[in-house]
Chains A and B, each alone.
Chain A
Amino acid sequence: MQKQEDQDWDLVIKGRSSLFDLRLGELWNYRDLLVMFVKRDFVSFYKQTILGPLWFFIQPIFTTIVFSFVFGNLAGISTDGAPKYLFYLTGITSWAYFSDCLTKTSTVFKDNASIFGKVYFPRLIMPLSIVVSNLVRFGVQLSLLLCMMTYFYIFPMKGSSFHVTSALVLFPFLVILMALLGLGLGLIITAMTTKYRDLTFLVTFGVQLLMYATPVIYPLSYAREKGYATLVELNPMTGIIETFRYAFIGTGEFNLLSLGYSALITLLILVIGVIIFNKTEKNFVDTI
């Protein structure tokens, strides 16, 4: 009898619940909210700026120029025969997406404490909306890459060549991997920062340092030459970025094993991240 009665309730609010009760169905009900958040992020980004969405281009262009000069010309790190600008731009575009996803989701609880403290919606919507908003930005920057590729195709640079490979079919998969890896790591960090603020400081420079452990400014072959390949290969982003670069400009290593390793680690981190996040969201308002 008691049991029968219990089944009539639409919602039971309890202190503790199963670790794996992720309520993904609820997430689907709030999909409109996700769209609204993405729209908000996009519109508010360029409101009251003169250049508007152009800012999406300016950052990668300048970073590419500086990287080409510092690492390409001054340090003389090889680009495996690819045009320097394309080499750095592919690295920067994909790395920027990953690092944006990571750094932005890692402060979700802190940044949205005021909203989260006043109204309930599945908290996971917020980090997801960040990943999707960044996707818009990534798309815009990708178009920059395509423009550059067209330019270098028509006016090839001396001594360097590039070609698009069939690995391009993996492109959606690569984007999803980058998004989920950034998201998963971000979720873990944001959940921990509700109690231990120290991590916030770690993230900002940690991501910067991590970039140097990823073949963004150098090809994997260069790391191998210098004997640091194992260290770099342990990084799950390595497989993704190498494949990305191979797909677009034909340099780098395309290795299914390394990509599979990245996918596995991503999945693992994502699952841990979502579980920790869900556990934290219930009470974080009390500690933040």
Chain B
Amino acid sequence: MSRWPAIDELAADVKSGKIKAVELVKQSLKAISDNQEFDAIISTLEGRALDRAAQIDKQPAGRLAGVPFIAKDNFLTLGGKTTAASNILRPFEAPYQATAIEKLEAEGAICVAKANLDAFAHGSSTENSDWFVTKNPHDKTRVPGGSSGGSAAAVILDMAPFALGTDTGGSIRLPASFVGAVGVKPTYGRVSRSGVVAMASSTDVIGPLTKTATDAALVLDVMSGRDELDSTTIEKAEASYTDLDFDWSGKKIGVIKEYMQEGLDAGVKAVIEGSIEKLKSAGAAVEEVSLPSLPLALAVYYIVCPAEVSSNLSRYDGQRYGYSAKDAKNLDESYELSREEGFGAEAKRRIMIGTYVLSSGYYDAYYKKAQTVRTKIINEFSEAFSKFDFLVGPISPTPAFKIGEKTADPLKMYLNDIMTVAANMSGNPAISVPAGLAGNLPVGLQIIAPMASDHQMLAAAKAFEDLG
């Protein structure tokens, strides 16, 4: 397998005519076909990708000219199916594309394939995919993390220079950490959600998975900004994210106490402590900081998220598109059977929890209370960032676990998200940067930044990479 050069170099070579976009797409398709055993990819967009590449070769232009990429299969794309790895969307062909895809295409990037995920992004391992389980490129008996597990594995398997993921409770950062990729969860609203199958609308964000922070900065730069089609998007203050000049000296770093306590795998702990030492040597002022409500973030997440999931999945009713039960005798049966047969166990579990917490009489006790705690978490972050430039900690208590290890116990699976959900609840940007190995398994360092400081965070991540 051949490695990809930096994305800006690749685009420059396509523009100068040194390499052809068609060749890059073919290289990408070959890597996909050579690595089928990892089950990272649901479908390729070969026809459309080669057509676009041929077009681009005629007149190469754009910051991502001819650069192939892979989108998680919950991004709506033309030229193939968009299934969100779910049975209920198995036949669905999107008539429009996600804004993020449109923006990347406008700069010359080419979407070559759709990556596996936990169906509807519900999960932390891709084991909830209605298709297949993606294998960790470092150890085929282990999960790549999830839900953007296919995207993360694809990047490490060099199927494309970058891939797109979505992060609702850690779904970009966790797989990035498990496979050793850079995974960016931008500030909420940084990238338009239009055309991305919604999971939990108030925490869903879109971000890149790459090999380096520099590549991630370029991709995020292209995708970010206000979008008329998504009212929750925010204005981008900086002209560009690609200037990553940064110096750790004098920077104030808070190590999140609640993430470094018992339960943390010794290998992971060693990698994170080693990273902290590197930051200190680089001149950063490191201190422990406590955000006492963080341990509640997971409980809050598993109320707010299923509530929104149960609502967002209502539209999959078998009446207009997607899977529709053939044997239904009347409307009610059509609803029941289409949803019973179309949704997997995890989607059903979340629909049930969400329906319960939104029911009259329970709303105040669950949803309202969860939102109150959510506000508390936001306030604690904001207070911490009045003292610190960044907060750091692990992404997950353990490195990649064995396939099947946690599938029998949903609660155990949910605990994987314990260190990532808080940033989704608060909206802060966070990133997973490869920090070392626990045994032979990658471990990511989580850097959480103040609201809207995506650029600073990427610069810090690049500077961390440079510390070696």
Question: Are both chains from one complex?
Answer: no
Binding site for B on A (CB under 8 A): none
Binding site for A on B (CB under 8 A): none
